[in-house]
Structure 1
Amino acid sequence: MKFTDGYWGMRPGVEALHPAQAYDVESDPSSLTVYAPTRRIEHRGDTLNRPLATIRFTSPMDGVVGVRITHHSGGVERPPRFELPGAGSPPVTTHVADDVAELTSGPLTARIVRGDDWRVDFVADGRALTSSGTKGMGFMTTSDSAHHVVQRLDLGPGDVVYGLGERFGPLVKNGQVVDIWNNDGGTASEQAYKNVPFYLTNAGYGVFVNHPGRVSFEVASEMVSRTQFSVEDQELEYFVIHGPTPKDILDRYTALTGRPARVPAWSYGLWLSTSFTTDYDEATVTSFVEGMAEHRIPLSVFHFDCFWMREFNWCDFEWDPRTFPDPEGMLARLHARGLRTCVWINPYIAQRSALFDQAASKGYLLRRRDGSVWQWDRWQAGMGVVDFTNPEAREWYASHLRRLIDMGVDSFKTDFGERIPTDVVWDDGADPERMHNYYAQLYNSTVAEVLREKRGGADAVVFARSATAGGQQFPVHWGGDCDSTFASMAESLRGGLSLAMSGFGYWSHDIGGFENTPDPAVFKRWVPFGLLSSHSRLHGAGSYRVPWEFDDEAVDVLRRFTTLKLRLMPYLSAVAREAHEQGTPMMRPMALEFPDDPATTYLDRQYMLGDRILVAPVMSAEGDVSYYVPDGTWTSLLDGSKVTGPRWVRETHGFGSAPVLVRPDTVLPLGATDDDPQYDYADGVTLLVHEPADGHDSTLVVPAAEGTGGTTVRVTRSGATVRATTDRDDVPWRLRLGGTDTLVEAEPGTTSLTLSL
């Protein structure tokens, strides 16, 4: 929200108050509190009839400084608040002197200048990462009497901002106005399904605004050298998170707000959907499954979209008997083929559903202030919204999911959760404005917890659309309703990379696009992008997405990249472990992996899959693509060709190809199985050694199928000899020079191999 009129003036009706000096400072072993009047105090009379800002500095974890700005503190604090599982009481030091006051947590210091001008510097590594100077903090009252708390943090020359959720515009947010407010707005506008009040910069720090409701960001868009954020409230809390690298920032942020959960190995395989409004029954499903097998395309998950339930009844959690008269038998038959199953759900109860009256009578649905059930006709006629702040409603909803799991359902697609009204009363007295975004957290956590419970605490997966801060704990999330065009393919990738910079470890999208039917060229170009994402799903709106609906070449392209992904499982499983343990996303913007290369700063049409594989999706029918290659000699994983950077490359690719490059000095484990994501990854593994530097010495763990434990392999290079040793001797394995046919093979019992360059 903009408050100023250019640099000098204020917009009509806006009154501004800013801290003028750090008049008084109090400290204790864990905090520093600054009392800052909005006018300099020259004599006692100046203390009268004057607002006082109270700014409290704390630390929830090492390297993170919290700032709470308060005007009037007497309000009633209402839920929700973000849960911060990593928050604690780390050791801090405070220092108060006549000229400065400081709170230090690990490498980060908040330094409050006690001079003639108000200033707070956030200092690390001997420099100010960012600052809040004169008029950088304040209270704004607008013409409608709304009270806002505002913070502006400096941006230096070359500083750029990433994150703020899954946003489909440019990856770099400088120059953008971003409102943190979940909307069902598709992928072609400034709206987003997943809004996260967190951003990170290339300047060594990130910022998390600890407010679950609407937060308005002006990212170098009101004042071009500042990032501004504001809330309509009497209080604002935010955390400055030290890096120094972007990965370090994500590590600290996800440690604070929750790590991305592990997901089961089977979820990395190919998902196939019925699509949305298409006609389907068990015969249709069986024909798709058998067709994939006949075309030798490995399938891991079959998804039933909305019409597995009867129309006008969503959600009643009952299979439509007209099309699925034997759901238990059908699910068992799919399981017998080695498939997992997923069904679509949403958090709404249509009026025609047999569950509506039950939920309404027991207080399980959101109510208006007059006590009536909140209803409307958008999406489902007369639908109400489940109130997940009511523990009984949450358990009631979960009980229906348990029944489906007992039938044989393995996962749920948790659609919607963004259209949450604010003219309602919540069971726990929650603030409706704060609950609008936070609803997604309660919805997805309810479903994820049921799945984990039914799996005995083992890894589970949802396929979710809406989210907010902390939502990374309940993966996987997909990109929503994109169009079936190359432009939409690009905007989807931008959204996924933006979400990655917001702490989310996994991400998916509808291969070929959702709306309309893709041209065969769009579908075939989208396939490599889809299969080289963390999770891969074929889904659409009004048409089937099986490849033979397009052409024979589409079948070949899908087979090639599906089997490639399954052979990459030893690598992907290790990358997923990084996401879970450190918060580093599986799909990474180039700037996250190469923060010291200024050429990567704005790149958003290519990405790194883990730290070793560069992917540049082809977004043209003709196959023309341009992409940037960082320093070193990179090797195509598909044909073994070499590309040396740093430089821009222009190429033309056929439909069965795309730039998929392996980073130099890489040992890439390639599995022996290409028809299932679950297998013993070490059994028959091929270690692809790409451009090893002389003196190379690396150790990697080839993980077990579910990503825990595994086989340790050490690879070294001395002169022209590459040597690999393993701690497992009961399986065959190979050592191969990447991009060539040069390899050596080890039979069981052999724990060491050498290769001549």
Structure 2
Amino acid sequence: MPNEHWWGGVVWDGHIMPLKSGYTVNLYGNNKGNQAQPLLISDMGRIIWSEDPISYSINEDKILVTSSGSEVRISTSGSTLKDAFLDASQNYFPASGKHPDNLLFERPQYNTWIELIYNQNQDDILKYANGIVENGFDPGVIMIDDNWQEDYGKWDFHQGRFSNPKQMIQTLHGLGFKVMLWICPFVSPDSDVYRDLEKKGFFIKTEKGDFPLMVRWWNGTSAVLDFTNPGAIDWFDGQLKNLQDKYGVDGYKLDAGDSYFYDIPSISYDSLATPNDQTYAFQQFGLKYPLNEYRATWKMGGQPLAQRLHDKGHNWEDLSKLIPQIMLQGLLGYPFNCPDMIGGGEYGSFIDLKTIDQELIVRSAQVHALMPMMQFSVAPWRVLNEQNLEAVKKAVEIRKKYLPIIMQLVKTAAKTGEPVVRSMEYEFPHQGYYNIKDQFMLGSNVLVAPILEKGMTKRLVTLPKGRWKTPSGKILKGGKTYSFIVKLDELLFFERKQ
């Protein structure tokens, strides 16, 4: 329709939406490393949905949509982006009434990846945790990342790097942390676990059905658990329950599960399972654990899963993608979201202090501050000077002040499915805001406008009609664009006054 704009599909492309002519994507076996949904919605209240993966392309004034299975449903509800979302949410991915563990929202999260990379070990994890507290940060969820385990599929602590994991977790609990472990659906082929699971038929098999399928992923080549097989699910669940019973583990970061890992001719326990069905089955499994995190999901809108954006580089271009991608997560039914790690998850950028952009880390922390979740990985006290460290702490303090609003929005999202982070077009329809990607709404009444460019000290902010209060208490009249001078330790945000 004239002046109609569309969003949907894959979170990875959120920064290039609304969709432009020439865009094309096929969601069959392709989630682009992040959340996906067979949904398109427009700011004219229109909805496109299919229960199965769709492919679609934009050509001038037409959208061509093809489903890999069930019918393509086209409908209209109201006349705005919000109308379309609420209708799609209610009919296709209704809210479950639940949300992930409160601590994921209430305190910053801390991931050990950047500091330890593949050398996850007891001494350094405790050093990191103590550093968090000693440097004035509140304890929250601590995620022990990849390579804490004996091997992929051997889900127990590596004895050479963890002398007493139960005592370590008890110490972390004593400091005020909850503990999550990184896990994945892969099993290393040269292991006793692999041989046992092969005999039980718990792996996806090659097209001929004679051997387990071997999948190349970022850490090697592995067999893949078949989550359409109840036996494989029970085995995996038993491994995780054992970690909880034996050591006191609280939850899990469930990595991988991307549909493109399954887009290979193969045989599953469910003979009709598509690559997307395998992804869906792996995410369904995570509902067993309220303290969870996923990066790749398919058709899990409305469910109580913490959804992290795909790993971002330590650069300003990727920082600018956080807001539009988080906004798209919400429009696809994923409101419990985390904008990756502060400063980015590209570990190579943090090895040499000379390559670290301190300004970028400060601005990244400010973007996180008023989003549903805030996750540190690189230790701010290691890489920042005193002034910049204080700026990061100031961002955390802003979050504390607005935590009651964040938690209320999280609880509301569990009931209604509504995004916590919302686009300007969602809250203020048909006012020309559809292409604003550098500011966002926290709910209906808090407008956030972070700095997203290096060296920027002045930025423009579009305030919709109404009365808006600045952090200093000044009341501004909306309906126009203002220019602000912004110091490095400042985050621009505005409260709407009725």
Same fold (TM over 0.5): yes
Per-residue deviation, 1:305: 0.4
Q: 1:280 to 1:385 in 2, by over 3 A?
A: closer
Per-residue deviation, 1:239: 4.9
Could you tell me which residue of structure 2 aligns to residue 635 of structure 1? 469
Per-residue deviation, 1:614: 0.8
Alpha-carbon distance between aligned partners in 2 of 1:487 and 1:293, rounded to the nearest angstrom: 32
- Percent identity, aligned pairs only, is 18
- The 8 Å contact of residues 635 and 664 in structure 1, kept in 2 or not, is answered as yes
Alpha-carbon distance between aligned partners in 1 of 2:443 and 2:268, rounded to the nearest angstrom: 42
Q: Secondary structure at the match of 2:160?
A: coil
Are 2:207 and 1:369 equivalent residues in the alignment? yes
- CA offsets per residue over residues 696-718 of structure 1, 9 Å max, x none? xxxxxxxxxxxxxxxxxxxxxxx
Per-residue deviation, 1:381: 4.1
Q: Secondary structure at the match of 1:505?
A: coil
Q: Secondary structure at the match of 2:465?
A: strand
Are 2:389 and 1:555 equivalent residues in the alignment? yes
* Aligned partner (choices 427, 437, 448) of residue 269 of structure 2: 427
Could you tell me which residue of structure 1 aligns to residue 104 of structure 2? 267
- The 8 Å contact of residues 95 and 414 in structure 2, kept in 1 or not, is answered as yes
Per-residue deviation, 1:265: 1.9
Of structures 1 and 2, the one scoring higher in RCO (CA 8 A, sep 6+) is 2
Are 2:491 and 1:654 equivalent residues in the alignment? no
Are 2:340 and 1:340 equivalent residues in the alignment? no
Per-residue deviation, 1:230: 0.9
Residue 627 of structure 1 aligns with an amino acid whose one-letter code is V
- CA offsets per residue over residues 307-355 of structure 1, 9 Å max, x none? 2124xx2232111111212111111111111111111111111113432
Per-residue deviation, 1:397: 0.8
Q: 1:553 to 1:585 in 2, by over 3 A?
A: same
Could you tell me which residue of structure 1 aligns to residue 157 of structure 2? 319
Q: 1:384 to 1:174 in 2, by over 3 A?
A: same
Q: 1:607 to 1:218 in 2, by over 3 A?
A: same
- The 8 Å contact of residues 350 and 380 in structure 1, kept in 2 or not, is answered as no
Residue 331 of structure 1 aligns with an amino acid whose one-letter code is I
Q: Secondary structure at the match of 2:206?
A: coil
Which structure has the bigger radius of gyration?
1
- CA offsets per residue over residues 520-577 of structure 1, 9 Å max, x none? 11101100111211011113xxxx3334322223321222222322332221121112
Q: 1:492 to 1:183 in 2, by over 3 A?
A: farther
Q: 1:427 to 1:306 in 2, by over 3 A?
A: same
Per-residue deviation, 1:278: 5.3
Are 2:27 and 1:180 equivalent residues in the alignment? yes
Alpha-carbon distance between aligned partners in 2 of 1:239 and 1:273, rounded to the nearest angstrom: 42
Per-residue deviation, 1:377: 4.4
- CA offsets per residue over residues 177-201 of structure 1, 9 Å max, x none? 23224557xxxxxx45222110111
Residue 46 of structure 2 aligns with an amino acid whose one-letter code is Y
Could you tell me which residue of structure 2 aligns to residue 405 of structure 1? 244
5+ residue gaps in structure 1?
1-155, 185-190, 452-459, 666-757
Residue 443 of structure 2 aligns with an amino acid whose one-letter code is G
Alpha-carbon distance between aligned partners in 2 of 1:660 and 1:250, rounded to the nearest angstrom: 25
Could you tell me which residue of structure 2 aligns to residue 242 of structure 1? 77
Deviates more, 1:171-180 or 1:606-615: 171-180
Q: 1:346 to 1:243 in 2, by over 3 A?
A: farther
Give runs of aligned pairs for residues 580-659 of structure 1, distance below 5 A.
580-598=414-432, 600-624=433-457, 625-637=459-471, 639-659=472-492
Residue 297 of structure 2 aligns with an amino acid whose one-letter code is A
Could you tell me which residue of structure 1 aligns to residue 353 of structure 2? none
- The 8 Å contact of residues 395 and 491 in structure 2, kept in 1 or not, is answered as no
* Aligned partner (choices 183, 189, 192) of residue 351 of structure 1: 189
The alignment's C-alpha RMSD in Å is 2.0
Give runs of aligned pairs for residues 171-210 of structure 1, distance below 5 A.
171-175=17-21, 176-181=23-28, 183=30, 191-210=32-51
Could you tell me which residue of structure 1 aligns to residue 144 of structure 2? 304
Residue 357 of structure 2 aligns with an amino acid whose one-letter code is D
* Aligned partner (choices 45, 54, 66) of residue 230 of structure 1: 66
Are 2:332 and 1:514 equivalent residues in the alignment? no
Q: 1:512 to 1:382 in 2, by over 3 A?
A: closer
* Aligned partner (choices 454, 471, 481) of residue 311 of structure 2: 481
Are 2:127 and 1:282 equivalent residues in the alignment? no
Alpha-carbon distance between aligned partners in 2 of 1:500 and 1:535, rounded to the nearest angstrom: 13
Residue 453 of structure 2 aligns with an amino acid whose one-letter code is S
Could you tell me which residue of structure 2 aligns to residue 706 of structure 1? none
Matched positions, count: 478
Q: 1:363 to 1:660 in 2, by over 3 A?
A: same
Residue 239 of structure 2 aligns with an amino acid whose one-letter code is H
Alpha-carbon distance between aligned partners in 1 of 2:190 and 2:199, rounded to the nearest angstrom: 15
Q: 1:200 to 1:386 in 2, by over 3 A?
A: same
- CA offsets per residue over residues 499-537 of structure 1, 9 Å max, x none? 211121121122111123341111011001112110111
- The 8 Å contact of residues 398 and 447 in structure 1, kept in 2 or not, is answered as no
- CA offsets per residue over residues 626-664 of structure 1, 9 Å max, x none? 331111231123x33443322223333222112111112
Q: Secondary structure at the match of 2:481?
A: strand
- The 8 Å contact of residues 363 and 450 in structure 2, kept in 1 or not, is answered as yes
Alpha-carbon distance between aligned partners in 2 of 1:505 and 1:204, rounded to the nearest angstrom: 20
Per-residue deviation, 1:255: 2.4
5+ residue gaps in structure 2?
351-355
Alpha-carbon distance between aligned partners in 1 of 2:7 and 2:221, rounded to the nearest angstrom: 40
Per-residue deviation, 1:613: 0.9
Per-residue deviation, 1:487: 0.7
- The 8 Å contact of residues 636 and 642 in structure 1, kept in 2 or not, is answered as yes
Alpha-carbon distance between aligned partners in 2 of 1:182 and 1:545, rounded to the nearest angstrom: 36
- CA offsets per residue over residues 137-166 of structure 1, 9 Å max, x none? xxxxxxxxxxxxxxxxxxx11011012231
- CA offsets per residue over residues 473-506 of structure 1, 9 Å max, x none? 1421111121111110112322211221112112
Residue 249 of structure 1 aligns with an amino acid whose one-letter code is A
Alpha-carbon distance between aligned partners in 1 of 2:391 and 2:272, rounded to the nearest angstrom: 50
Q: 1:218 to 1:239 in 2, by over 3 A?
A: same
Per-residue deviation, 1:288: 2.0
Alpha-carbon distance between aligned partners in 2 of 1:239 and 1:545, rounded to the nearest angstrom: 48
Alpha-carbon distance between aligned partners in 2 of 1:476 and 1:363, rounded to the nearest angstrom: 31
Runs of at least 4 residues off by over 6 Å: none
- The 8 Å contact of residues 315 and 347 in structure 1, kept in 2 or not, is answered as yes
- CA offsets per residue over residues 47-68 of structure 1, 9 Å max, x none? xxxxxxxxxxxxxxxxxxxxxx
Q: Secondary structure at the match of 1:169?
A: helix
Bigger share in helix = 2
Q: Secondary structure at the match of 1:640?
A: coil
- CA offsets per residue over residues 198-254 of structure 1, 9 Å max, x none? 01111122221221x3x21113x2xx2222201356x63425252444333322322
**Given the two structures, how large is their TM-score scaled by the length of structure 2?**
0.91
Bigger share in strand = 1
- The 8 Å contact of residues 301 and 332 in structure 2, kept in 1 or not, is answered as no
Alpha-carbon distance between aligned partners in 2 of 1:272 and 1:416, rounded to the nearest angstrom: 20
Q: 1:641 to 1:405 in 2, by over 3 A?
A: farther
